[in-house]
Chain A
Amino acid sequence: MKPNPYDAIPAVITETIDETPLIRTLRLRPERPLAFRTGQFIELGLPGLGEAPFTPSSSHFISDSLDVTIMKAGFLTDHIHKAKTGDKVGLRGPFGSAYPLEEFENRDLLILGGGCGLAPLRSLFLTLLDEVHRYKSITFYAGAKTPQDCPYKDAFPEWRKHPKVKLVRAVDVVPPGETWDEEVGVVTVLLAKLDIDPSSSPAVVCGPPVMMKFGTRDLLRLGFREDRIYLSMEKKMYCGIGQCRHCLMGGYYVCKHGPVFTYAQIKNEEGLWD
């Protein structure tokens, strides 16, 4: 008999890292290993308060511990930001589709992301780094509103040292009093400097809907192929299994057929960027 999809795996918060005033990473230790593939999502529940979908932000090669990076955006996430080391949460999943790593093999990969979209991309990036010999190069363009909104501050200098990695960050604005020595502008401006061959390279895009919309448009203009642009879609998802129907987008369930889609797959779906 199939296991009950609503049973949760208890997990303990072993560490909390405040990345920015609004973004926090929880490090979790599930009671049973939770093996996910990068790009897939989980449902994280705070006992008695609720549950919401999040994409892990750690490498998928680690399954006894799991990072989840969460932006403060409402009732549940406010409570998540108040949670403490030692608190218990419930996890369900993993659900949905993963990034097709085999399609990235021996290629120059572009990763384009912004804001809360950096969480799944960190997972992808760390997973790629764990087997970096499989890939030709990784260009990672990361955007944030202001310098203080950039997550994973300590990790960036480390990641940058890797010879196969080109990592550039852009912030929309630098408010008075903050310093910034990287690019200024929306993250898509970085595409002007791209030095990989768009016609043969895959691109992964994740971020707020507007960023995904314009990012995809720019990639298509540069000559990236529709079936090599991978989008991580976000819709409301209660169940994660295609039962609650909230994430239905045309004929696709984002939770089941996604969250990772190629642009070619979903370009004609209604409400794609809403």
Chain B
Amino acid sequence: MLIQSDELLNFLQRCRDRSLGSYRDVYCPVWPAARDSPHAILSPLRGTDRPALDGHRAVDPVKLLFYRVRERVAPFRADLAASLLTGIKACDVRALELLDRALVNEDFADPAYRAWRERTTVLSFDCTDAGPTCHCTLVGGKPFAETGFDANAARFGDHYYLSAATSKGEALLDLVRKNSRVDTVHNTIPAAVEARRAEMTAKVQKQSEAFARSDATALLRSAPPEGWKEESAACVGCGACTHICPTCYCLILNDESGPGDFVKVRSYDSCQWHGYARVASGASPRPRIDERFRHRYLCKLVTMKAEFGTLGCTGCGRCTDACPGGIDFRKAVHRLMANAEGGRPDAAAR
């Protein structure tokens, strides 16, 4: 179905005011009050906010909502209030798909993550712009989501094409249909959407061209040690990259029990920190910064791929933006792959 952009915005605002639907919270990337800020931040939508539904991804990864920086996991009482998360882009939807596999699987379920996922409807938006570090096409992604969302809004001109992929998404679109002016004649993706998507894809491809490499990322294992030392030379081991990465979910578990109850709180940890894997005896498998740096790259591009069938990098570019050492993830992977045996882009083609 088609809806005008103002009409959709108005719908979301009415949901936020609770005059429509039963969403207690509506989360959305918003432009901060300082008008010149280039960073949309993910936040509960308030009356005065300017939502950033289009453009590229927000500065905050979606895990900030689903997998909080610090969160009590035991005893755990689920909050059941429905919420609507909107305006997130394909790279973050893809991160959610990975976290779904990592955190709710046959072995265990993280209680807080599962509860968040169950009560939240995700309305993703196509990218209409690429940030300078965006590189989803390099990691097998696209600047629009094809799976993983409940409903999706694809912009063309001053309209959106809305589609649903789950029953939660259907319920949302029902609500739209009943309360907004929509054109329900169009039930397939309009050609204009296809054209705009192709244009956006080409744009990301173009800005990623210089970092092209073979897809056989497992070859990174054989990149020579000097390569890792060179790429990590500017790394200070701060952990900004892992904290901002939408797919990193390493945790520290704290015991915060009082008399009579057993309370466990998890918070983010970072594999870039020295204490991360250090055991009580003081031994650490990765005492040097270049070893920890390598561990992160291998985790994203080799281990997670083997574990979840998808790369641990969704190409959002956040780690590059956040790094105080100015390390560009794309560039580092490109060079490391070129130095790994058989990892040159042309080697893959041969």
A→B interface (CB under 8 Å): 1-2, 4-8, 10, 45-52, 73-74, 76-77, 90, 208-209, 234-236, 238-239, 241-251, 256, 270-271, 274
Contacts and interface: CB of A to CB of B under 8 A. Distances in A.
Nearest to A76: B280
A248 B73 contact: no
A83 to B, nearest CB: 14
B109 A2 contact: yes
B277 A246 contact: yes
B279 A234 contact: yes
B234 to A, nearest CB: 24
Contacts of A239: 251, 253
Interface stretch (B180-188, B195-203, B283-291, B337-345): B283-291
Interface of B: 73-76, 102-103, 107-111, 249-259, 262, 264, 266, 269, 271, 276-281, 283-286, 299, 303, 306-307
13 contacts: A6-B73, A7-B262, A10-B262, A45-B255, A46-B255, A47-B258, A50-B254, A51-B255, A76-B280, A235-B279, A244-B251, A245-B250, A274-B286
Contacts of A241: 107-108
- Closest 4 A/B residue pairs (Cβ): A47-B257, A271-B285, A6-B74, A73-B280
B253 A238 contact: yes
A211 B285 CA distance: 16
A244 B277 contact: no
B251 A90 contact: no
B309 to A, nearest CB: 14
Given A45-B257, A51-B253, 10 more contacts: A6-B73, A8-B262, A47-B258, A242-B107, A242-B108, A243-B251, A245-B271, A246-B277, A274-B283, A274-B286
Contacts of A77: 280
Given A48-B258, A243-B108, A6 B253 contact: yes
Task: Indicate the member of A2, A49, A247, A249 with the most B CB atoms within 10 Å.
Answer: A2
A2 B276 contact: no
A27 to B, nearest CB: 20
Contacts of B259: 47
B72 to A, nearest CB: 9
Contact of A47 (B103, B255, B285): B255
Contact of B74 (A2, A7, A235, A236): A7
A224 to B, nearest CB: 25
A139 B281 CA distance: 28
A17 B256 CA distance: 27
A4 B76 contact: yes
A240 to B, nearest CB: 9
B-side interface mostly: loop
A74 B279 CA distance: 10
Given A4-B73, A239-B251, A246 B276 contact: yes
Given A248-B303, A271-B285, A90 B108 contact: no
B255 A90 contact: yes
Nearest to A77: B280
A47 B262 CA distance: 7
A169 B76 CA distance: 48
A251 B303 contact: yes
A209 B283 contact: yes
A243 B255 contact: no
Contacts of B251: 238-239, 243-244
Contacts of A76: 280
B257 to A, nearest CB: 4
Greatest chain B CB density within 10 A among A2, A45, A209, A245 is at A245
B107 A256 contact: yes
A244 B262 contact: no
Nearest to B276: A246
B262 A74 contact: no
Given A4-B76, A7-B262, A243-B108, A236 B277 contact: yes
Contacts of A2: 108-109
A234 B281 CA distance: 10
B252 A6 contact: no
A268 to B, nearest CB: 11
Contacts of A90: 255, 257, 262
A48 B256 contact: yes
A4 B249 contact: no
Contacts of B285: 235, 249, 270-271, 274
Contact of B286 (A6, A74, A242, A271): A271
A6 B264 CA distance: 7
Contacts of B75: 4, 7
Contacts of B262: 7-8, 10, 45, 47, 90
For B249, B251, B283, the residue with the greatest tally of chain A CB atoms inside 10 Å of its CB is B283
A24 to B, nearest CB: 14
A48 B257 contact: yes
A248 B299 contact: yes
Q: Which of A73, A209, A249, A270 has the most CB of B within 10 A?
A: A270
Contacts of B103: 243
B253 A244 contact: yes
A5 B108 contact: yes
* Interface-central residue, B278, B280, B283, B299, by most chain A CB under 10 Å: B280
Contacts of A238: 251-253
Contacts of A45: 255, 257, 262, 264
A203 B131 CA distance: 57
A8 B264 contact: yes
A45 B265 CA distance: 13
A10 B102 CA distance: 28
**Which residue of B277, B286, B299 has the most chain A CB atoms within 10 A of its CB atom?**
B277
